[in-house]
Structure 1
């Protein structure tokens, strides 16, 4: 498979090295000829007493000297012309490098193409770098070119930049022979079968190094602009420590299952791609519009009297055939080939997902800029190869991983996307099925019985493809997009038919869990208005005499009046409008609708997942998916508390960028969580479900879900943020008030003179006390958390002591006594640590 395309950008973005070309190492001056030696001295030097060293040196020199071409490249070898001519002699490979390609910049991308079970996953990137092949006498040097710093101006600083940009030598190869037009021939076998840190998977696999005896080159393919190499590589494993895997995770560690295992074998894929001879005109990055980018330090611009970091956006090279026309086809469209291994029943949906981007590029002035089509068969085009970097593809991977990704490879000098791919893991079908079932099935009868029909799964695959193609086009996630829609709009069939369920398909908005049965609203995301806006900003061409910066500013200025065009970096903790997996700008209102749908799903869960004669594995899986969706939606509400909304506008557009969430909204969020999280969620305690999937365990599962929300609410960063906001704005919802409200909600039974506390609440209350006790030991001098926790524990201790004897039953009495003892131990421990005092004797205070 094509290594070029497996680079991450998660995705949640990768900065590629960019700078001016480095200085070549200076050649050493010719050394003077040694004086003639006498016959005697030569004889003495060549004698046995001197070990005949000169003869050996001469033999070694003769051995290393280039030989006639026909002696090195024989007729028995196979040869593959392309960027370089690649010759194969059994397990040995030779590059014949055209002189015209020496000194040319190329990008080298390495990744795991296939893996051994339990070790990482296919497509895992190992790194990319720019390399250059240089000739020095009868040797060829492979150099690692650093483009991180540059200076384009004709200024003395450029000399200094060059002086600090010497390219490290990765390996030196003796020239074995010279081919046509003096093209050097080198043996590159050991480049791939020994452990070079620049291309190694040792760190990823937590291995000691490559075992050359168990490694070999599987194949090398040479194409006009790239060379693709696959290596079967075996890495020696470190011996696992008892009870662990040396502190590292091997996804999971295979040695944990088999301590005798000495190595891990993987298939490495290396792609070497020639960078364009004519660099594309770059476009400078603007953080108000979402694009992946490539950065470099510009020493040539001191206009602001400080060092600047410049970034260019990643984008394909699109140029109009007819520049004067408002809408024109591109000179070279982006052809996206759907590889033949994609299952036939999904191919049409994959093509639709690609073509869904066509209207967005029309906003940028390009007609048919992106075209999805089925790759030619071997009979139709025997020369077509999915590994060829000239082709952008969608590949289907036979993997159990429920995922997909859409990386690309860019020219670090300009940001030009040279090649892109979408990788669809086979088990992506399970992921979209689970999402759609728990989020949208109440409004879609087709999804209320599993398995879902193929036409529905096809629509869901289409959505995933469109999202991943967006990444390959240069667009990162835009988590702010979905917050610009209201709950009312998400339930409106006319609005969602026109605008989709979010302004951007690059948001993690998933499916419409807000819509209720009978609304008739759309349920799946689509390429939206923000995507059109971003494509226009990034891809629109301007006349040569136009002020490009000013024209781009006109486009981005629309954000001031249209929140649907705003971009937000993925999921900063403090901003509830930039979350993953959420819908709408009001988390409480959206989650209230979502809970109604989750309760509906729970009601038909057994019927939807069960068939006569089959086990309950699917029921168990979907029950866990239901709980997972509940946790996500409750997490959205928790992030309203102490939240700060960011609107990324510039000076002159707004008076501020950060806006604390209204105090009343924060308090409403806490009340909602008390009612729906800390009050035991009964939907997960259905005996009709639990009696089929487990003997016990529901209590632990519910507690784990509740505790995750509780920890989030009481997290140190949230408490500190609330304290700072309270100092600067009125009215404010203080951390002290929030913690007090949470305590009252979790311990609401104390309002009864004869409290009766059930198992699930007892578990939650113990978890609450343990969490507060852990906060006492915080050493952060800027946090009120220890003081607030101490106050709540002191109050709880008094309440537990007061109500224990009056409890409705013995279990509740023992519970309150136990909690009081836990609190006292925690407070006494802190007293000893802070004062050195002897703890008081046990008994009443």
Structure 2
């Protein structure tokens, strides 16, 4: 049984406060319950069964017949603007999750991606408890630390050092007829600007530019009660605060008070080799001689119906007792609803691998005529929320039980303008091979398919799955051009990868959309099986971990199941937007397609009734795509493979990228970027729009040089070079500098003048080296988290860079007055020489 750190102290406090008025039998019960775990605490059924104090009102005087009554786990009574909560003693000491969201937003308060309908503005767990002087306390709980065994001294110590804060106190107005519940007047509380049911932190208000609540322009719209939740909807007006864009702001806020499961789900301990979001707390019992962080995978609770348990154990597919259901926001454009639904339903095949059929599905939200009680704000319902916004995005967060990681509900946010970015991605990546993509407005069936793919990806997040940026790296690049193979197996084993579309496929490959689109694939099904297969025969999460660890270790013999974390800083396999096992090959094919597209961009974006703004936007998208392909290659230089392993798995966990591959990466950058890519300067386009080729080119080159000469990357290269355990040939910083010197100053070695674009590149390169040797600040060191070893490495790096500058100064000085160079080149070289001497005059030899 999972035990919480905070519950016992809350229970004891409640018992002490009730002691003076409880019957003798209740005193015995108190002693018995003292050792109970917090999740096992039962409300004292005798609480309140005593003469009502004279100062309290009669129930019938407070709750009158003309009031509206909504019955739920807390019964809500209302009349006009007055609201009363009838809180039963049965829920005392039980955990209530309060989640607050923006229900209706103000356009003036938006800050970037934040400030839209559905955005979360607060979340915490609370418990009601009876207090002295006829008050009811609401205590805020923390789950960052716990000790499981309530019989140990450690448990007592943890409780003493984790007193849970009293967030609010409410005077009891009356007892109900049988004294099983108390009545609270919540009117003032719900109308106040409190941090329990509305903005929980000033940070959220600051982001929105909000100040203090304007009481005369704020009110509670309604409070609805349901069996396991209470929904509070308030209209709030706030004065302008920090960074205001308006004199004031009016919004609607929704607060969901959700009763957490009385029987917590069994948690599943995280395995970093499977990409699940997790929650973490400090565990005082997991290790006998230390404190460790225990992490639980975030996932829904799926269990068979009681009558189907034996069928499930026999391997038969059964329906879960409580399936995962997503409702489509009624405001969603009707033509996209079937595609959003299909994007959800596509996950059914993955859950079948975990033993459940019909485990997840979507349906349209019922109309008011069909069900007048149904509400999108009801916390029992998960939904795909349509957002009429210029933001080109979609996102799939979830709300989970902080005790166990059990997902309770989710709201996927679908921004209208995501279709714009989908159109641009598919156009730029696939128009060379798909004739249907050669226009600015796609047919509904094509756009619908793209919506379906994004829907599936976001649903994956709501199921607990993280991005798997490494998945596509397990596929050989040449397989992406094999029509039969790629249409059967897909271009990436995971839809949770950011491997948008198959940009490697060439026109002559004749690959259909089945080989261009992502799909729910091998890794996704395996990850769902890991997270959702029900295992009732293991006694606890620790025994289950032993079983699952062995299964994962064996399963990973299939490389298509590999998980690459998106937070990897140096592993070239774990990148977004990339494809295949070789970035140089994939980038070459991608650029071949871009060269085809740019030649036709004017025709494919032509709209006789409009100007050239759409063509300019699409050209910018093409430049960005080209920059993305180049960026994928950079990660190979100084890169380091990271293999997440447990101790029983053989082999190293960190391995430098192969010498040959790093050399190939530098050669690719020379050919495709540092040698001026004149094809990007398409004349048929540049005479119609402002010429930005030169500006965009130098910014791309600057970005790549910053990426190569990143101090963390250089440090990694030095570490590999001087690691005594390294047996394979490594690409050293000295050799990188030699190669870059030949690439950047090729013309000098050949005795030729330097062109305009190449002169700009050489300036950026020299400036970067000077900054490495003589940094103007240490900001990137601070960001990287500087260590003593890092400082030692930087000394060596500075020496290498200083030697390189000395060599290049000698080369530049030799040719700055060379008669074979044109005047522009001579002036350029003199400027470089002056800059190097000026900045490094104290220690450069020349």
Q: Which moved more, 1:517-526 or 1:647-656?
A: 647-656
- Does residue 794 of the first structure (1) align with residue 806 of the second (2)? yes
Per the TM alignment, residue 193 of structure 1 is displaced from its structure 2 partner at its CA by 4.6
What CA distance in whole angstroms lies between the structure 2 residues aligned with 1:615 and 1:469?
Answer: 38
What CA distance in whole angstroms lies between the structure 2 residues aligned with 1:419 and 1:501?
Answer: 31
Aligned positions of 1:2-151 closer than 5 A: 19-24=5-10, 25=13, 27=16, 65-74=55-64, 77-113=67-103, 114-117=105-108, 118-119=110-111, 120-122=114-116, 123-137=118-132, 138-151=134-147
Residue 606 of structure 2, aligned match among 610, 618, 637: 610
- Does residue 313 of the first structure (1) align with residue 311 of the second (2)? no
Residue 378 of structure 2, aligned match among 388, 398, 407: 388
SS in 2 for 1:323: helix
SS in 1 for 2:817: helix
SS in 2 for 1:176: strand
Per the TM alignment, residue 234 of structure 1 is displaced from its structure 2 partner at its CA by 4.2
Equivalent residue, structure 1, for 2:160: 163
Change (3 A) 1:653 1:382: same
Aligned positions of 1:195-206 closer than 5 A: 195-197=193-195, 199-200=199-200, 202-206=202-206
8 Å CA contact 2:256–2:378 kept in 1: the answer is: no
8 Å CA contact 2:212–2:241 kept in 1: the answer is: no
- Does residue 676 of the first structure (1) align with residue 672 of the second (2)? yes
Equivalent residue, structure 1, for 2:223: 220
Per the TM alignment, residue 184 of structure 1 is displaced from its structure 2 partner at its CA by 2.5
Over the aligned positions, Cα root-mean-square deviation in angstroms equals 2.7
Residue 619 of structure 1, aligned match among 615, 627, 638: 615
Equivalent residue, structure 1, for 2:408: 418
Change (3 A) 1:520 1:338: farther
Q: Which moved more, 1:364-373 or 1:800-809?
A: 800-809
Residue 376 of structure 1, aligned match among 366, 381, 400: 366
What CA distance in whole angstroms lies between the structure 2 residues aligned with 1:631 and 1:812?
Answer: 28
SS in 1 for 2:313: coil
Per the TM alignment, residue 528 of structure 1 is displaced from its structure 2 partner at its CA by 0.7
Residue 773 of structure 2, aligned match among 776, 779, 792: 776
Residue 823 of structure 1, aligned match among 809, 828, 836: 836
- Does residue 540 of the first structure (1) align with residue 533 of the second (2)? yes
Change (3 A) 1:754 1:514: closer
8 Å CA contact 2:211–2:241 kept in 1: the answer is: no
TM norm structure 2: 0.86
Equivalent residue, structure 2, for 1:11: none
Equivalent residue, structure 1, for 2:284: 299
Per the TM alignment, residue 470 of structure 1 is displaced from its structure 2 partner at its CA by 0.8
What CA distance in whole angstroms lies between the structure 2 residues aligned with 1:821 and 1:264?
Answer: 57
Q: How many pairs does the alignment contain?
A: 767
Aligned positions of 1:622-771 closer than 5 A: 622-694=618-690, 696-728=691-723, 729=726, 730-758=728-756, 760-771=757-768
SS in 1 for 2:386: strand
What CA distance in whole angstroms lies between the structure 2 residues aligned with 1:102 and 1:210?
Answer: 33
8 Å CA contact 2:284–2:290 kept in 1: the answer is: no
SS in 1 for 2:337: helix
Residue 451 of structure 2, aligned match among 453, 456, 461: 461
Equivalent residue, structure 2, for 1:530: 523
What CA distance in whole angstroms lies between the structure 2 residues aligned with 1:721 and 1:545?
Answer: 43
Structure 2: unaligned runs, 5 residues or longer? 21-52, 779-790
8 Å CA contact 1:21–1:147 kept in 2: the answer is: no
- Does residue 567 of the first structure (1) align with residue 563 of the second (2)? yes
Per the TM alignment, residue 734 of structure 1 is displaced from its structure 2 partner at its CA by 0.7
Residue 797 of structure 2, aligned match among 785, 789, 792: 785
- Does residue 406 of the first structure (1) align with residue 390 of the second (2)? no
8 Å CA contact 2:3–2:147 kept in 1: the answer is: no
Equivalent residue, structure 1, for 2:173: 176
- The superposition leaves residues 406-454 of structure 1 with CA deviations (integer Å, 9 ceiling, x where unpaired) of 1111122222211123211111111211111111221111001121111
Equivalent residue, structure 2, for 1:247: none
8 Å CA contact 2:6–2:141 kept in 1: the answer is: no
Change (3 A) 1:262 1:600: same
- Does residue 279 of the first structure (1) align with residue 279 of the second (2)? no
Change (3 A) 1:502 1:748: same
Change (3 A) 1:619 1:188: farther
4+ runs deviating over 6 angstroms: 28-31
What CA distance in whole angstroms lies between the structure 1 residues aligned with 2:54 and 2:213?
Answer: 26
Per the TM alignment, residue 510 of structure 1 is displaced from its structure 2 partner at its CA by 1.0
8 Å CA contact 1:20–1:151 kept in 2: the answer is: no
What CA distance in whole angstroms lies between the structure 2 residues aligned with 1:771 and 1:18?
Answer: 54
Q: Which moved more, 1:213-222 or 1:764-773?
A: 213-222
Change (3 A) 1:362 1:742: same
- Does residue 229 of the first structure (1) align with residue 232 of the second (2)? yes
Per the TM alignment, residue 583 of structure 1 is displaced from its structure 2 partner at its CA by 0.9
Equivalent residue, structure 2, for 1:40: none
SS in 2 for 1:296: strand
More relative contact order, 1 or 2 (CA 8 Å, 6+ apart): 1
What CA distance in whole angstroms lies between the structure 2 residues aligned with 1:715 and 1:468?
Answer: 33
Equivalent residue, structure 2, for 1:591: 587
What CA distance in whole angstroms lies between the structure 2 residues aligned with 1:235 and 1:707?
Answer: 45
SS in 2 for 1:518: helix
- Does residue 333 of the first structure (1) align with residue 323 of the second (2)? yes
What CA distance in whole angstroms lies between the structure 1 residues aligned with 2:127 and 2:55?
Answer: 23
What CA distance in whole angstroms lies between the structure 1 residues aligned with 2:19 and 2:762?
Answer: 83
8 Å CA contact 1:484–1:564 kept in 2: the answer is: yes
Q: Which moved more, 1:559-568 or 1:781-790?
A: 781-790
Per the TM alignment, residue 360 of structure 1 is displaced from its structure 2 partner at its CA by 0.9
Per the TM alignment, residue 194 of structure 1 is displaced from its structure 2 partner at its CA by 4.0
8 Å CA contact 2:97–2:257 kept in 1: the answer is: yes
- Does residue 211 of the first structure (1) align with residue 177 of the second (2)? no
Change (3 A) 1:282 1:673: same
Equivalent residue, structure 1, for 2:254: 269
